[in-house]
Amino acid sequence: MKITRFAVIALLAAGTAQAQTPKQLDQQTAAMMRASFREQGIAKMDRLEQDAAQKACSQAKPPSEAVTKKIEAAELAAVKWPADGQFIGDWKEGEKLAQNGRGMTWTDASVAPAKNGAMCYNCHQIDKKEISFGTIGPSLWNYGKLRGVADPADPASAAIVKYTWGKLWNSKAYAACSNMPRFGHAELLNEQQIRDVMALLLDPKSPVNQ
């Protein structure tokens, strides 16, 4: 008798779940997410809020080609190019940023971009001498050299230089559902920090391009 009762309850519960619309399920999921997190230190609840790109890329199916193009166009339009036209900084500082995995956790004292690292080695190989690096993203070894950048200031290199800045500032401008952090867009790094990472990738003197 107990087994029968449990079976009836399970069937009723299943029927209720099946009757729910996708919108209702999304609302329940959002509520559960909010109930599972709390603010602590610099980590606030607004981190659970998704923008249009994040929402589109969080669905069960990838966004359509039309939606993808719309997202990429909007994200590209939001890229902030260097105000003084200077794209390249100091590769030595860029290497320090690449090695630095700190920032944006509840234990950090400040949300200032200058307090953050770029965390490049979490996802990429950048230098052949490194024995530990992530493989989520492609290898960036010889990034500038392979793309023919002998002088980042040369007009012939302008397209690659601008693309690299845009990719660092807002990766979704080129791949709507990119997993790469949107360093400039999300204020994870400031302009000078991005210049320094640019130098690490593109400066011929950088060990990356040796």
Query: Can you give the CATH number for the domain in which 145 is found?
Result: 1.10.760.10
Residue 56 lies in a domain: no
* Same domain, yes or no: 196 and 120: yes
Task: Of 19-23, 62-66, 72-76, give the lowest mean pLDDT range.
Answer: 19-23
Residue 25, in any domain of the structure? yes
Do residues 130 and 202 share a domain? yes
Residue 15 reports pLDDT greater than 70: no
Q: What is the largest CA-CA distance in the chain?
A: 82
Share of the chain above pLDDT 70, in %: 91
Count of structural domains within the chain = 2
Residue 40 in 3-state DSSP?
strand
Q: Would you say residue 106 has pLDDT above 80?
A: yes
In a domain, 109, yes or no: yes
Closest alpha carbon to 168 in 80, 57, 92: 80
191-202 and 91-99 are packed helices; what angle lies between their axes, rounded to 10 degrees?
Answer: 100
Assess whether pLDDT exceeds 80 at residue 79.
Answer: yes
Q: What pTM does this model have?
A: 0.85
> What average pLDDT does this structure show over 149-175?
97
Between CA 188 and CA 18 the distance in angstroms is 41
Residue 96 lies in a domain: yes
What's the confidence (pLDDT) of residue 5? 59
pLDDT surpassing 50 at residue 19: yes
Residue 71 lies in a domain: no
Q: Is residue 14 part of a domain?
A: yes
Q: Can you give the residue range of the structural domain that contains 148?
A: 91-209
Rg (CA), the chain: 22
* Cα 160 from Cα 164, distance rounded (Å): 6
